[in-house]
Amino acid sequence: MDKKDLNRDDILDEILRETEESARMPQNEPPVRFADREPPIRYADQIPEEPPVRFADQIPEEPPVRFADQFPDAPAMDPGAFDEEVVHQVFTEDEGVIGQINTMHGFAPQEDDDLAGESQPAFHGSPHSMPHNTGSHRKKRRSHRVLGALLMTTLILGVSIGLSSLLMIYGRDVLGINSDSTTKIVTIPSGSNMEEIAQILKDNGIINRPDFFITIAGMSDKDSSIKPGDHELRPDMAYETILNELVSEPMNNAESVDVTFREGITLCDAADLLEENEVCTAEAFLDYFNNDAKFGLSYEAYLPSFQDDKFYHMEGYLFPDTYTFYKEMDVELVCQKILTNFNDKIKPTYYDRMKALNLSLDETITLASIIQAEAGSVDQMADISSVFWNRLNHSDKFPLLQSNPTSKYVEQVIKPHSMSYNEALYNSYDTYKCVGLPAGPIGNPGADAIQAALYPSSTDYYYFWANTDTKETYFARTLEEHEKNGEKIRKEQQAAEANDDNEDKDKNEDE
């Protein structure tokens, strides 16, 4: 018997022994069947009412996070790159790092069915194998959206403000939306091109955008039809209205008249000249020139704010010259023409000099008007100016300027045109009674007198006599010298009178 047979017999014997032992066991309890056993407790039976939590139920409203959204500048990913083991650190907002999830061969890109045609990574397996950094991603996306909205809002506001500013700047000029309705006479020289005409309009305050005006003129085909001469224009005119005026007949075709105002002329005499030449009435001129003549010219900024102590507020500001007016001309245009000329004649350097001398514009014109009335010739003006300056600078010894023309102005101009007797006003103009300069100019000085007032000679003269017959002036340093010069002038005048009498006698005898 071989070894295999022995093993088989041992097994059979063992089976028999177990059978006999089973028969000897008590038969009170039935054998327990597998089906009768209590079922094992399952994890799911502990929470029978709660359905299993799905990942999609945790964030039902949020779309899946795409790689392209998190890293817009990253290159396209190779699907094979996910074959390697990737270790993800899982974070929560409250607990920080809670574990690691190892994914192998289970994270692969899958084509999404959305309209954009972009691919998204698909997670295979249970939801717990996916990264738990969704809250952080949501915050990043919201931050990006807010920043983008702010940038877009800022851009829209910037563009809107820029366009609005351009429309206001150019629109106001093109449509003539301007509060200044003052009529101005603008002279267009013969042979002027469009660029020169546009610059003339800008210099006169009619337009602000010469280049744009040139463009509008070219589009309207009126740039080649503008007629030279004087045109009445206003800053509140639209471009189209300005062009219509410029292509119409200029004022030169009306009946014109030339009026010359001499140096030193008073406003009263100037008003009479305008009335004599049928330009306007003397009363209308004096009223408008002294009360309403404001045209936005640069000299106006230097006028005194308080002029109630002056007789004629604008005496001295009619610049002596020859003017071309038109019969029955609007008094506003007459005054504008005169004051524009004055404004042009007062050089910017004059204002600098006034500041250096601590003189106002009104004081400068006042002193110049006295020099104009005293001087027999232009050559004497600087020396005459030095006498007045020396007295002004030494007012403790020479408080009075003592100029005869100021007394004549009171007698010949102020008193005849005053509504009532006003001794204080008279004394304020008479330099034999008032200290320093009079209250205002006594005439309208020319350019040479204004120059002399600002640039006097350097002398030590304090006195002078002027021979009105011979136009000679005698200067003195002391009162004694001055009295001798006065005696000399009286003898010259007596001799001249005697000579005139002899000539008249000879003339009568010849007749």
CB atoms < 10 A from the CB of 181, how many? 10
Residue with tokens 């609005």: 164
Q: Which of 76, 89, 84, 126 is nearest to 105 (CA)?
A: 84
Token pair recorded at residue 265: 């002329």
Token pair recorded at residue 252: 């030169």
* Rounded CA separation 111/126 (Å): 20
**If you classify domain 257-345 with CATH, what class do you get?**
alpha beta
* Rounded CA separation 77/136 (Å): 22
Domain boundaries, the chain: 184-253, 257-345, 376-443+450-499
* Rounded CA separation 365/450 (Å): 7
pTM (predicted TM-score):
0.62
Query: Do 261 and 323 touch, CB atoms closer than 8 A?
Result: yes
Residue with tokens 């000579």: 499
Over its C-alpha atoms, the chain yields an Rg (Å, rounded) of 54
Query: Do 321 and 364 touch, CB atoms closer than 8 A?
Result: no
* Rounded CA separation 507/239 (Å): 69
* Rounded CA separation 227/247 (Å): 5
**If you classify domain 184-253 with CATH, what class do you get?**
alpha beta
Token pair recorded at residue 321: 């010259």
Instruction: Kindly give the confidence (pLDDT) of every residue in the chain, 511 residues in length, as a single tens digit, with 9 standing for 90 and above.
Output: 454 555 666 777 777 776 666 656 555 445 445 445 555 555 445 545 555 555 445 555 555 555 455 555 555 555 444 444 444 444 444 444 444 444 444 444 444 444 344 444 444 444 444 455 556 666 666 777 777 778 888 888 777 676 655 555 555 555 555 556 778 889 899 889 999 999 999 988 889 888 989 988 888 888 888 999 889 898 888 888 899 999 988 876 668 899 999 999 999 999 999 999 999 999 999 999 999 888 889 999 999 877 778 999 999 999 999 999 999 999 999 999 999 999 999 999 999 999 999 999 999 999 999 999 999 899 999 999 999 999 999 999 999 999 999 999 999 999 999 989 999 999 999 999 999 999 999 999 999 999 999 999 999 999 999 887 788 899 999 999 999 999 999 988 888 887 766 666 655 555 5
- The kind and range of the H/E element at 13 are helix 3-24
According to DSSP, residue 105 is labeled S
Establish how many alpha carbons lie within 13 A of residue 365's alpha carbon, considering only the half-sphere containing its beta carbon: 28
* Rounded CA separation 225/189 (Å): 14
Query: Do 270 and 286 touch, CB atoms closer than 8 A?
Result: no
* Rounded CA separation 67/120 (Å): 7
DSSP, residue by residue, 136-179: HHHHHHHHHHHHHHHHHHHHHHHHHHHHHHHHHHHHHHHHT--S
DSSP, residue by residue, 408-469: HHIIIIIHHH-SS--HHHHHHH-TTTSSSS-SS-SS---HHHHHHHHS-------EEEEETT
Q: Which of 204, 220, 247, 240 is nearest to 343 (CA)?
A: 204
Alpha-carbon distances, residue 339 vs 71, 188, 344 (angstroms): 74, 19, 9
* Rounded CA separation 290/286 (Å): 6
